[in-house]
Structure 1
């Protein structure tokens, strides 16, 4: 996908009605998937309005129509819920701007797909956080679950099929070990044995979901801290963004991945494992915030299994990193030799640390439930 020229972007924008004149366009954000631009529009009354233009990465997301239908349906549903409770739908969820011919995305002469969102002003996304910001991000993701608790999740398209099918991920891992294409298995025997020892847990969540013992949810599937906007004035979690991976799943996937990524004391590829553990302070802050907003929509078993959600998402991620290392680093981008192995090791260290703190994790969940 070649970088679009300013002239090409200006031509695209003529297909939208901003109720004013476009006066400035600049690249925006630090996302790695889509190309994002901020559009400044001069309004007739002398004020300005801000918009986001995104080129959707059709290499990653090949069914753009299904992806955009998911986003449009979910955001429209949330907007009604937010308005009904007296909130501000224009700030508390994303708002798509249809093109002048009524389409929620457009395709240009080069075959690229584009969409426009209203820019949410006076709000900030964070790359790292203290326990207060982490707590607010949890409130935002919990609110996301609460708003969509009665949405018919089965009607959404599974944009990335089997994304959190942990048993399928385990089978792929076993296959990579057996094939050992690069002769790396002998050097990571300890990591392989760690995962094999936990094979019986791989279906802990998927089996309950299949049996209907856990509710099928609208899940975000990319619950990183920077996918929440924090209100600049109030400091409260305001809006969940980046809805490309919204699809059916379990709330425990979203909660668990937040803990996996956000409660770790070290970077995901930290070579020094002595620096890696799960912060109980951050675990407690996130659990508190998540249950504060989502708790009333969660049945007892779903709450009880929150520690298992954290463990399974961490185990699955470590397994995926190790599988990629064994297969030659073809899925996750690396910037140095052994980076995927370091990533795998940090995740497995976090799993072991969670296991050592299991009773404390359960106690915290029970306290805030």
Structure 2
């Protein structure tokens, strides 16, 4: 997916409950899925910035369900912050800016859904942790997020992406893409396909989820889905909440491990130079288990040691599937980008699996 959405103009901005004149609107260059912009507005109280985001309906087929979840989750977060007397609540939980007629999103002239949030000033995001303390702070924030949502009142959250972390389903989708060969690429990546099949067979021994509780989790706990206070380096606000729905705690911890313990990029091409930084994993384990507190069962804690390898493998499968389909899901920078991502993530799964004993030891130590 390489198409870009045109920059939103005054008419779209005016559809939201924002008082003031649009000064500028610039792309925010982050994320694989949505198109995001920062709008500067001259309000009666002075200049203010807002995030405008087009919901990708190829990925999220029901934007109404996405926004219903988001309103429920952020409202629950805010009530928890009020009970705790937390300072800067507006910087610790997202707030949806409604349209002028009270809806959660606005369709543009082409029917594309847009939503709006106040820009959280004085914050930064990180692709990877600069040190173990930052890794622990991130894991603590995501662990607390899961703990806060544990008492979210019924009904269950909408399923915004069916089968999102269904590894068996992802494997079936890969095989369907191999057979379909929509982009004519399958013959050139036969080695990668065979290697992925072998790892999927091997995963039966470490990626099982039978008997694990299903609970509201983020489902996409990358480090860059967390805003840090720019001055104090404090983890403030969990963002990108579109995938919040029922799942396993291991999905969240595993995605943190996948994205935070390897200094290489997600699309790293120097596979031989890739490595896992064990001190960062230990910090993640301590932060996540501190954040979740008494929430997790013994079985859930036991699943965390292999969670990183499981999530790296799942993403390797997804990237290879999208490559075979012609790059229709993830935004790419070139024709081999998804293939580069696949190779790097499969290599990371290998590295994390090789360190399984040490990673499980970290989790046991953090649980004491």
| TM-score interval (norm. to shorter) | 0.7 to 0.9
Q: Which residue of 2 aligns with 1:308?
A: 306
Q: Give a deviation string over 1:129-161, Cα, whole Å, max 9, x none.
A: 312332222222112112111125762111111
Where does residue 138 of structure 1 map in the other structure? 139
Based on CA coordinates, which of the two structures has the bigger radius of gyration?
1
**Residues 1:319 and 1:300: Cα distance change in structure 2 (over 3 Å):** same
Q: Which runs of 5+ in 1 are unaligned?
A: 209-213
CA contact (8 A) 2:306 2:356 kept: no
Q: Is the CA contact (8 Å cut-off) linking 2:262 and 2:275 kept in structure 1?
A: yes
> Aligned pair in 2 of structure 1 residues 202, 91: CA closer, same or farther (>3 Å)?
same
State the shift of 1:167 in Å: 1.4
Is 1:195 aligned to residue 194 of structure 2? no
Contact 1:184 1:326 in 2 (8 A): no
Residue by residue over 1:38-85, the C-alpha shift from the partner in whole angstroms, topping out at 9 and shown as x without a partner, is 33344445x433322222223332211111101011101111011110
Alignment of 1:86-105 (within 5 A): 86-87=85-86, 88-105=88-105
In structure 2, C-alpha distance between the alignment counterparts of 1:185 and 1:232, rounded to whole Å = 43
**1:40 corresponding residue in structure 2:** 40
Which residue pairs with 2:284 in the alignment? 286
Between the aligned partners of 2:336 and 2:162, the Cα distance in structure 1 is: 28
- Counterpart for residue 230 of structure 2: 232
Could you report, residue by residue, the CA deviation over 1:156-180 in whole angstroms, capped at 9, with x for unpaired residues?
Answer: 1111110111111223345556778
Q: Are the counterparts in 2 of residues 25 and 37 from structure 1 also a CA contact under 8 Å?
A: no
Where does residue 25 of structure 1 map in the other structure?
24
Residue in 1 aligned with 2:48? 49
> Would the alpha carbon gap of residues 188 and 155 (structure 1) be closer, same or farther in structure 2, given more than 3 Å must change?
closer
Q: Distance in 2 between matches of 1:193 and 1:62?
A: 29
1:224-251 deviation per Cα after TM superposition (whole angstroms, max 9, x unaligned): 2221110123221000111122222112
Which residue of structure 1 lines up, in the alignment, with residue 156 of structure 2? Answer: 155
Q: TM-score, normalised by structure 1?
A: 0.86
For CA contacts below 8 A with separation 6 or more, give which structure has more relative contact order. Answer: 2
Alpha-carbon distance between aligned partners in 1 of 2:15 and 2:324, rounded to the nearest angstrom: 48
**Alpha-carbon distance between aligned partners in 2 of 1:23 and 1:102, rounded to the nearest angstrom:** 20
For residue 351 of structure 1, what is the aligned residue in structure 2?
A: 349
For residues 275 and 245 of structure 1, what CA distance do their matches in structure 2 show?
A: 32
Distance 2:202 2:235 in 1: 36
Distance across 2 between alignment mates of 1:178 and 1:99: 45
TM-superposed CA distance for 1:106, in Å, is: 2.0
- The reply to whether residue 183 of structure 1 matches residue 187 of structure 2 is yes
Alpha-carbon separation, structure 1, partners of 2:100 and 2:187: 57
Q: Who is 2:106 aligned against?
A: 106
Aligned to 2:16: 16
Cα distance in 1 for residues equivalent to 2:57 and 2:197: 38
Q: What RMSD in Å do the two structures reach over aligned CA positions? A: 2.8
User: Which range moved further: 64-73 or 300-309?
Assistant: 300-309
CA distance in 2, matches of 1:329, 1:362: 35
My pick for the range that moved more, 350-359 or 186-195, is 186-195
Where structure 2 has 5 or more consecutive residues not aligned to the other structure, the ranges are none
Deviation at 1:3, TM superposition (A): 4.5
- Deviation, 1:333, is 5.2
- What residue in structure 2 maps to residue 211 of structure 1? none
TM-score (norm 2): 0.86
Residue 96 of structure 1: CA displacement? Answer: 0.9
> What's the offset of the Cα at 1:112?
2.4
Contact 1:270 1:346 survives alignment (8 Å): yes
Match of 1:129 in 2: 129
1:204 and 2:208 matched: yes
